[in-house]
Structure formats: structure tokens, C-alpha cells
Amino acid sequence: MIKFALKVVLMAGVFYGVAYLLDGVDVVANPDGPLGEFGTWLWIALIFAVVNAIVGPILRLFSLPFVILTLGLFLLVINAALLGITAALTDRLTVDGFGSAVLGGLLLAVGGWLADQLLDRD
């Protein structure tokens, strides 16, 4: 449970970086929220984690032939879809187009992998 909470915190930082780097991914921070602006980043990272845990495996399973056919590149489209679903679930995150979603999904995948590497150290 602690690893999950730490990963959400790290992914909030990754979301901050993605929103800073990409013009098509915008986060409307809420300074009046319980945790301030950082709470908005945590909320978006938590929603993304839940969407990734519930919808992600289903999308990966149904798209397995495309993933195999494209040698894994279709996983970028799946990550873009997960980012789009997250944006649809909250009014604090907007993704302007498919290109921004794919680049954002790629950066989130790399950031998630780095977070996993940091947290799996013994």
C-alpha cells in the first residue's frame, strides 16, 4: 500500500513534467483544494492509476493482435487512450489532440517505468 501511495506521488510529478513539456496537455490546478495545487496533481495521478489498473489490462488483452503485429508500438495508442479516459473523468485535465495524447502517454509510460525502478530497489 505504501508503494502504491509513493508511486502516485511520483506520477504526480511526472504529470507535472508532462503538462510543463507538452502544450496539448493542460492541468487546471485548484489552489483552494484541501492539499492546494499539489492535491490536483495527486488527484489526476490517482485517477490515472485506477484507470490504468482497471481499463489498461482489458485494452491490452483485446488489442494483443495489434500489439504483436506492430511489435509493441500499438501500446503507445493504448497509453494515449488511457490518458484520454483520465481526461474525460476529470475536469482538471485536458488533452488537446491525438498527437499530444500519444506523446503524453509515452512520457507517462517512461515516468511510470522510472518510478517502478526507484520503488523496486531493495
Please report, to the nearest 10 degrees, the dihedral formed by the alpha carbons of residues 38, 100, 75, 83 taken in order: 40
Do strands 25-27 and 93-95 pair parallel, antiparallel, or not at all (unpaired)?
antiparallel
Which of 54, 44, 49, 108 minimizes the C-alpha distance to 76? 108
Beta-ladder partners of 25:
95
Query: Which pLDDT value is given to residue 60?
Result: 94
Query: Which pLDDT value is given to residue 122?
Result: 55
pTM, 2 dp: 0.89
Task: Going residue by residue through the chain, which has 122 residues, state the pLDDT in tens, using 9 for 90 and above.
Answer: 888 889 999 999 999 999 999 999 999 888 887 888 888 999 999 999 999 999 999 999 999 999 999 999 999 999 999 999 999 999 999 999 999 999 999 999 999 999 999 988 75
